[in-house]
Amino acid sequence: MDGDRAIDPWSSEGETDYSRIVQKFGLQKVDHSMLPNPGMLHRRGIVFAHRDLDVAVRCIRDSSPLGVLTGLMPSGGMHLGHSMVIEQVKWFQEQGADVTVAVADLEALATRGISLSDGRKTAIEEYILNYAALGLDPDKSSVYFQSSRPEVQRLGFKLGRRTNLSEFEAIYGFTGDTNLAHVQAPMVQVGDIVHPQLEEFGGLRPIVVPVGIDQDPHLRLTRDIVAKTHWFNINSRKAGGLTISLSIQNDNAEIFGVEKGGKINREVRADIFRRITQIIASLGFADSISNPKHGTLVVPGATNSDRSLIRFKLLELERDMGGLGLMSPCSTYHRFAPGMTGGKMSSSKPETTIFMNDTYDSMAKKVRRAVSGGKSTVEEHRRLGGDCSKDVPFQYLEFFFEEDDSAISEIKREYESGRMLAGEMKQLCTERAGEWLMDISEKRELWRGNLDEFLAPDSN
């Protein structure tokens, strides 16, 4: 459908060169030694890139508030590909983060013509049920619907002033005949990502958004827009140190002491700079040089590593003065597990992936037919060994079913040495997947009918 393409301008197909993606999109690489308790997806390099993950990690280390936001498209069945984001969410939750889940019912309506009531049913009975079965903690999770949270829509609308059609054309490939619901959907997603920072949803704190790499355009858009709302800019100075400057806009000109004719009210300005100077001093910088008339304050002793703390304090000040005071979202990106048939996983092609409620037989059939990294004859395989980088059953063990790192290394060694055959790999994968699916289906039955615990008060 054209709709899907418009929202996600490029697919994972042909984009498997992850280091190129990191470069092209200006991401940072994840080094799992930066994480306090790296999970399986981190240790295996499956979560490979991030933006500002260090900010989130600092919250974990300091036990300061951290939020996670994830969104789901209530369409079709949930499969293994969808479970990866939930594994990431769960990890942050285990490290103390609160979790918000957006049901993208407006987006599903806009891009796939799914009615709000069908979207709601699919979201709860298919997705949230499986999230619960995967172990999301209801006491620290809150699920809402885009269509019934006015704050999200209002924020999306407000922030729409900070972008324009040309930008949407460039990011999403929209053209003159793109329908307007499609154009609105990304702004609602911006609202999703940013709104947990509103006072009524937990207040100012970093929000991390774990996603597949296909969602990065939305994160770039959100970060660009958020940066444009800031009342204070922070820039590095050539001579060393950081410069804080006022970003004068329609909504803050008066508060920043710009009078009708453009004259600057010195008292108002001086007061603002007293407050900034105080903040800077409280962070331990004895020295600062302010120029209220030009609207700048230089902190010679500050370095780039002080930036996020200074930013945080200035956002508090911005809120105090009447601004939105929004942080840029942090994000993490996982690689895509390959489809069973070698290409990409797709909900509309059930043979390409395993669904959460596949029967054992249907799963076993898919694994049997999966692309293998084995050689064409047993003799050749014994002599040359199998290729784990091409073997889908191996990769499913690595991505989903085998948590034990030493077991994975052992399997890899056995396969690459030729001692283990392709059929044996498939057999192992089938066994593990069978146990995994059985466990999930038992847990689903425990949760069915009890999902209200996950739903936010405004979700009725």
CB of 295 to ligand TRP, least distance (A): 35
Shorter beta-carbon distance to ligand TRP: residue 193 or 213: 193
Shorter beta-carbon distance to ligand TRP: residue 4 or 403: 4
User: Could you give the angle at the alpha carbon of 285 between the alpha carbons of 280 and 287, nearest 5°?
Assistant: 100
């001579």: which residue's tokens?
239
CB of 383 to ligand TRP, least distance (A): 45
CB of 87 to ligand TRP, least distance (A): 15
Shorter beta-carbon distance to ligand TRP: residue 88 or 288: 88
Compute the distance between CA of residue 290 and CA of residue 170 in angstroms, rounded to an integer.
39
**Which residues, 6 or more positions from 383, have their beta carbon under 8 angstroms from its beta carbon?**
418
Shorter beta-carbon distance to ligand TRP: residue 326 or 370: 326
Q: Of 23, 4, 330, 347, which Cα lies nearest the Cα of 172? A: 4
What is the DSSP-derived secondary structure letter of residue 264?
B
CB of 184 to ligand TRP, least distance (A): 12
Shorter beta-carbon distance to ligand TRP: residue 73 or 317: 73
CB of 390 to ligand TRP, least distance (A): 28
CB of 80 to ligand TRP, least distance (A): 15
**Cβ pair 244, 276 in contact under 8 A:** yes
CB of 249 to ligand TRP, least distance (A): 26
CB of 114 to ligand TRP, least distance (A): 12
Q: Of 128, 103, 131, 130, which Cα lies nearest the Cα of 117? A: 103
CB of 189 to ligand TRP, least distance (A): 4
* Contact footprint for ligand TRP (CB under 6 A): 69-71, 73, 102, 104, 107, 189, 192-193, 209, 211, 215
Shorter beta-carbon distance to ligand TRP: residue 57 or 207: 207
**Cβ pair 387, 408 in contact under 8 A:** no
Shorter beta-carbon distance to ligand TRP: residue 8 or 402: 8
Q: Edge-to-edge, what's the strand order for the sheet holding 207-212?
A: 28-29, 47-51, 330-334, 207-212, 67-72, 98-103, 141-145
Shorter beta-carbon distance to ligand TRP: residue 121 or 419: 121
Q: Edge-to-edge, what's the strand order for the sheet holding 232-236?
A: 232-236, 242-246, 296-299, 289-291
Q: What is the CA radius of gyration of the chain?
A: 25
Shorter beta-carbon distance to ligand TRP: residue 82 or 375: 82
The residue sitting closest to ligand TRP, measured at its beta carbon, is 71
**Which residues, 6 or more positions from 398, have their beta carbon under 8 angstroms from its beta carbon?**
44, 408
**Cβ pair 53, 28 in contact under 8 A:** yes
Q: Of 356, 330, 332, 352, which Cα lies nearest the Cα of 341? A: 352
